[in-house]
A and B are shown apart, each in its own frame.
Chain A
Amino acid sequence: MIGWLLAAPALCVMAFGFLLPVGVLLRMSLNRTDEMGAMREAVSLDTYGRLLSDDLNLSMASDTLQLGLGCAAAAVALALPVTLSIRAAPPAWRGALALAAVAPLLVSGTARIIGWLAILGDSGLVNAVLSWAGLPAQRLINNWTGVQIGLTESLMPYAVLVLLAGLGRLDPRLDEAAATLGASRSRVFWRVTLPLAVPALLAAFVLCLVLGISAFITPRLMGGGRVFVVATEIYDLALQTVDWPAAAAMAMLLLGGLVVLGGVRAVMARR
């Protein structure tokens, strides 16, 4: 009873800030759009049918999923060594190192992307180094490469947070026990640390996947209008095409996909 009372403010915010808008979107997604592009009140699944029968939408969904999978995998793979070195650091340093690893979260996403543009742009840092070394310039922004780099970087702090929480529960004596039994450092990693990190790695991966699939700012700004993912498409449908039922339906489909991922994660966690 006390628990519910304490949760009440959060539940109210959730109800008005999440459930209500989702309800409005769901209702809107059941409306129709006529030939003139105007919205007609209705209760039908026509809009869903229209979206799902469009090959362009399906390939965009597949691109989005691949982007999410790739960036989530890269973010987790990069976060693991960071987390392991934070864990191995002297206790006095750990707090500061962990803070440094998640510091990107303290900076606005837009500001970070502007930083990336300066590094990856056509006359940016990377291309300056390449041309100094006599290598051909690379296009690293306004395309998928740029989005992949930016998205991976933006997901990494989340992966580090989840891995720190997960690996923090492992007894450091396990590593020591393995060492006294004659295991080299790499053997300790492959036979003890990594197998025990699997649940944390999966949790970090699913979180990054969910965030990656629904990412909007990074694909928008680093893609330079040439990269189309579900989130940018919803924005375009709502504000450029002004096809609200289609935007709502696509948002519902994305939400549905994310809920399924959340369910998979919950089932895995119970194992």
Chain B
Amino acid sequence: MAETHLALSGLTRRFGANPPAVDALTLEVPRGALLALLGPSGCGKTTSLRLIAGLERADAGSVRVAGRDVTDLAPEARNMGVVFQSYALFPHMSAAGNVGFGLETRRLSRAERAARVAEALAMVGLADFAQRKPRALSGGQQQRVALARALAIQPDLLLLDEPLSALDAQLRDGVREEIRALQRRLGTTAVFVTHDQAEALAMADLVAVMDRGKLEQCAPPEALFDAPATPFVAGFVGRSSRFEGQVEAPGRIRIAGRLFGATETPAPGPAQVFVRPHRITLAEAGDLPARVTNRVFEGATALLTLDTPIGPLLAEVAAADPFRPGDAGFATLPPTALRVFPL
């Protein structure tokens, strides 16, 4: 992987006497990568972004960009392009005025500046809208102006705060791909904040899951999904069924009186188990009697809710599978499917 471009170390921010909004956040992002900060609302992801941008002062810890410590720099000295959730376009300036604002303080000739504004607007497909004021642009267009404005300064880091949340669902996927393609083409290292895990998993090279100010796990989407490091990540990212049980010996766990095999287990004692629905198979024979109580058709697959002796269990099966509500069968939980954490 490429060298580290953004490094956060022990980054902490407190508001009053409350528990820290961001608590000792430490992570690294390679050059050119897209990092998603994912978590429920109030988990500190937006505060983390603002700390990186310099819009909040860190109480402890450091922010380093390309090896340079920027922790004590004012936002205007950091050269970071920020796309705000509300876009924060200057209402009294045209699209071109907005995009050109960040270039005004740079030593550029008038012609150079105009060329870079035109280039940035063309990049987001808004060349024909240069003279429009923000209020004469649609939400999606405003979003692109905000993106063009952030990229026009050729930032060392692109920061996006819930960039898609104000767009309607139809637009969202298209803009998501565009942002990703643009970021990849320009090679700009980027951090974006989202509470939408589908968005994070689809766009990011690295996903940092946060909860209550703390980093739970920072990993590529696949690793996050297949090997969650904490119970929070296992429950938050993707669908899963959760059970409580007892680890009796390495590789053996008892749930509701039944013994299951698991490839990895913590030390014997009370434990919680997460199982992904797509790892479950349902057949005429198997280890766990199961009755289908609900079926949600999802196109290529169907999500079944199974009633089993250990509790309700979600299973994702091929849509062609014959099981319908009321049918009985046997579910199989392969040992590699069980993610076991101490309770």
Whether B75 sits at the interface, judged by CB under 8 Å, is: yes
Give per-residue flags for B54-81: 1 if the beta carbon is below 8 A from chain A beta carbons, else 0: 1100000000000000000011111111
Contact residues, B134-150 vs A (CB, 8 A): 149-150
Q: Check A191 against B101 for contact (C-beta < 8 Å).
A: yes
Q: Check A174 against B102 for contact (C-beta < 8 Å).
A: no
Whether A55 sits at the interface, judged by CB under 8 Å, is: no
Q: Check B101 against A181 for contact (C-beta < 8 Å).
A: yes
Contacts of A178 in B (CB 8 A): 90, 101
A179, A181, A187: which contacts B149 (Cβ < 8 A)?
A: A181
Contacts of B104 in A (CB 8 A): 183, 191
Whether A41 sits at the interface, judged by CB under 8 Å, is: no
Whether B42 sits at the interface, judged by CB under 8 Å, is: no
Contact residues, A183-235 vs B (CB, 8 A): 183-184, 187, 191-192, 195-196
CB distance from A96 to the nearest CB of B (A): 17
Contacts of A177 in B (CB 8 A): 82, 84, 88-90, 149
Known: A171-B86, A173-B86, A187-B105. A180 touches B76 (CB 8 A): yes
Contact residues, B252-295 vs A (CB, 8 A): none
CB distance from A193 to the nearest CB of B (A): 11
- Interface-centre pick from A171, A174, A176, A182 (highest chain B CB count, 10 A): A182
Contact residues, B16-65 vs A (CB, 8 A): 53-55
Whether B106 sits at the interface, judged by CB under 8 Å, is: yes
Number of interface residues of A (CB under 8 A): 17
Whether B91 sits at the interface, judged by CB under 8 Å, is: yes
Count of CB-CB pairs between chains A and B under 8 Å:
62
Q: Check B88 against A171 for contact (C-beta < 8 Å).
A: yes
Q: Which residue of A lies closest to B82 (CB)?
A: A180
A179, A191, A192: which contacts B75 (Cβ < 8 A)?
A: A179
Within the assembled complex, what's the spacing in Å between the Cα atoms of A182 and B81?
A: 10
Known: A173-B88, A174-B88. A179 touches B79 (CB 8 A): no
Q: Which residue of B lies closest to A192 (CB)?
A: B90
Q: Which residue of A lies closest to B81 (CB)?
A: A180
- Interface-centre pick from A178, A179, A196 (highest chain B CB count, 10 A): A179
Within the assembled complex, what's the spacing in Å between the Cα atoms of A187 and B90?
A: 14
CB distance from B155 to the nearest CB of A (A): 9
CB distance from A178 to the nearest CB of B (A): 7
Whether B92 sits at the interface, judged by CB under 8 Å, is: yes
CB distance from B116 to the nearest CB of A (A): 13
Known: A176-B55, A195-B92, A196-B92. A182 touches B105 (CB 8 A): yes
Q: Which residue of A lies closest to B83 (CB)?
A: A177
Q: Check A196 against B91 for contact (C-beta < 8 Å).
A: yes
Contacts of B101 in A (CB 8 A): 178, 181, 183, 191
Q: Check B84 against A173 for contact (C-beta < 8 Å).
A: yes
Contacts of B54 in A (CB 8 A): 180
Contact residues, B273-332 vs A (CB, 8 A): none
Q: Check A180 against B80 for contact (C-beta < 8 Å).
A: yes
Within the assembled complex, what's the spacing in Å between the Cα atoms of A242 and B26?
A: 83
CB distance from B329 to the nearest CB of A (A): 55
Q: Check A176 against B88 for contact (C-beta < 8 Å).
A: yes
Contacts of B55 in A (CB 8 A): 176, 179-180
Whether B153 sits at the interface, judged by CB under 8 Å, is: yes
Contacts of B79 in A (CB 8 A): 182
Within the assembled complex, what's the spacing in Å between the Cα atoms of A178 and B90?
A: 9
Contacts of B149 in A (CB 8 A): 177, 181
CB distance from B244 to the nearest CB of A (A): 43
Within the assembled complex, what's the spacing in Å between the Cα atoms of A181 and B90?
A: 12
Within the assembled complex, what's the spacing in Å between the Cα atoms of A39 and B90?
A: 61
- Interface-centre pick from B53, B90, B92 (highest chain A CB count, 10 A): B90
Contacts of A176 in B (CB 8 A): 55, 75, 82, 84, 88
- Interface-centre pick from A173, A177, A192 (highest chain B CB count, 10 A): A177
Q: Which residue of A lies closest to B106 (CB)?
A: A182
Q: Which residue of A lies closest to B74 (CB)?
A: A179
Q: Which residue of B lies closest to A187 (CB)?
A: B105
CB distance from A194 to the nearest CB of B (A): 10
Within the assembled complex, what's the spacing in Å between the Cα atoms of A183 and B55?
A: 13
Residue pairs across A and B with Cβ atoms less than 8 A apart, 28 shown, are: A173-B84, A173-B86, A173-B88, A174-B88, A176-B55, A176-B75, A176-B82, A176-B84, A177-B84, A177-B90, A178-B90, A179-B55, A179-B74, A179-B75, A180-B53, A180-B55, A180-B80, A180-B81, A180-B150, A181-B81, A181-B102, A182-B76, A182-B79, A182-B105, A182-B106, A183-B102, A184-B105, A196-B91
Further contacts, 15 of them, CB under 8 A, given A176-B82, A192-B90 = A173-B86, A176-B55, A176-B88, A177-B82, A177-B84, A177-B149, A178-B90, A180-B81, A181-B102, A182-B79, A183-B102, A183-B104, A183-B105, A187-B105, A196-B91
